[in-house]
């Protein structure tokens, strides 16, 4: 039996969409290699999430109470579940937390790992992971040759396909084990209304907004669409907005369903952070801006005319 283990993720006590994405992707892999899907959620209330995960293919939903996030503690707990379930494939979120513990888990399991996959398929019984390389200028396919194949997967890169699994609920006795570091404090003051990594729509502003006083124009469109507010490095370096909003090679890497770039020229460093978006809408008065080479739809016009008009129309349509 070649089972697949998914490590899901919660935020503020709610199931993050990436948990469903990974479970749905795991279902397709398990069907191809002849195994079951086990989805692990770090919680003491696994019953609350079992139904949602069963509906997208989980044969078993496992709860492990590992307490407050700790990279070492989570790695120890996840590895304990791996030892128990002996999966052939492990899928983890390429999130802030996932990036902290995934490499530790791979080392403990003596497994190869591919990070930041945006597509998964099966060839000859092995998972093939597609991921961006060279700062997003190209894509490459990878296989893992170790007995356990591990992958971290970018949020919003996998389709959620309804397909019932058995949905059995299990409670694991996995513990955090020995933890040599601990979190002393957290500063969440820089958080966005909608987190960039999780957003299905992102509205970003660049140097073309001319100054920090014009962010409300971009924010209004983002709020209307229920989108996250993004920014180019130029605006962050100029001190117009905090780094927590930056999209690009030195900021957040995102993969939303729709990315709206307002006044962003499209430097390669920015494209590296959002080039895998499903649809890209570019608004820029410079028709030669590089952003138009990757845009699904382009508007060559003044953003100060286009963005308010878009916001007004969306408010009418969305109520």
Q: Is 35 annotated as a binding residue?
A: no
Q: Is 275 annotated as a binding residue?
A: no
Q: Is 111 annotated as a binding residue?
A: no
Q: What residues contact residue 89 under an 8 Å CB cut-off, 6+ apart?
A: 2, 3, 4, 5, 26, 29, 33, 127, 148, 149, 150, 151
Q: Is 207 annotated as a binding residue?
A: yes
Distance, CA of 6 to CA of 292 (rounded, Å)? 37
Q: Is 277 annotated as a binding residue?
A: no
Q: Is 268 annotated as a binding residue?
A: yes
Q: Is 266 annotated as a binding residue?
A: yes
Task: For residue 84, give both structure tokens.
Answer: 């128990």
Q: Is 270 annotated as a binding residue?
A: yes
Distance, CA of 257 to CA of 211 (rounded, Å)? 28
Q: Is 273 annotated as a binding residue?
A: no
Q: Is 185 annotated as a binding residue?
A: no
Q: Please write down the HEC assignment for all residues of 141-196.
A: EECCCCCCEEEEECCCCCCCCCCCCCCEEEECCCCCCCCCCCCCCCCCCCCCCCCH
Q: Is 83 annotated as a binding residue?
A: no
Q: Is 263 annotated as a binding residue?
A: yes
Bridging pattern class, strands 201-205 and 228-231: parallel
Q: Is 158 annotated as a binding residue?
A: no
Q: Is 239 annotated as a binding residue?
A: no
Binding site, by residue number, is: 207, 232-233, 246-250, 263-270, 284
Binding positions for FAD are 207, 232-233, 246-250, 263-270, 284
């Amino acid at each position: 039996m070649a089972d697949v283990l998914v490590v899901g993720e919660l935020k503020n006590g709610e199931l993050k969409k990436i948990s469903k994405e990974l479970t749905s992707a795991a279902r397709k892999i398990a069907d191809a290699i002849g195994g079951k899907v086990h989805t692990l959620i770090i919680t003491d209330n696994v019953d609350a999430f079992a139904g949602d995960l069963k509906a997208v293919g989980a044969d078993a939903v496992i709860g492990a109470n590992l307490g407050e996030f700790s990279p070492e503690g989570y790695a120890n707990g996840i590895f304990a579940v791996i030892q128990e379930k002996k999966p052939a494939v492990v899928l983890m979120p390429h999130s802030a937390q996932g990036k902290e513990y995934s490499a530790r888990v791979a080392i403990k399991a003596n497994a190869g790992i591919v990070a930041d996959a945006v597509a998964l398929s099966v060839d000859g019984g092995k998972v093939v992971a597609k991921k961006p390389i060279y700062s997003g200028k190209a894509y490459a396919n990878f296989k893992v040759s170790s007995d356990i194949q591990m992958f971290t997967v970018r949020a919003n890169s996998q389709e959620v396909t309804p397909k019932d699994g058995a949905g059995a609920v299990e409670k694991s006795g996995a513990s955090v084990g020995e933890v040599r570091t601990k979190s002393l404090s957290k500063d969440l003051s820089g958080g966005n209304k909608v987190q960039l990594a999780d957003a299905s729509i992102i509205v970003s502003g660049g140097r073309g907004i001319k100054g920090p006083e014009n962010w409300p124009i971009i924010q209004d469109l983002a709020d209307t669409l229920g989108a996250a507010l993004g920014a180019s490095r130029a605006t962050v370096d100029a001190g117009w907005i905090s780094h927590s909003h930056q999209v690009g090679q030195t900021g957040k890497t995102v993969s939303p369903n729709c990315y709206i770039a307002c006044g962003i020229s499209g430097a390669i460093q920015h494209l590296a952070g959002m080039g895998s978006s499903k649809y890209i809408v570019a608004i820029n008065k410079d028709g030669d801006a590089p952003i138009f080479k990757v845009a699904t739809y382009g508007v060559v016009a003044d953003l100060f005319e286009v963005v308010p008009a878009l916001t007004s129309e969306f408010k009418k349509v969305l109520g």
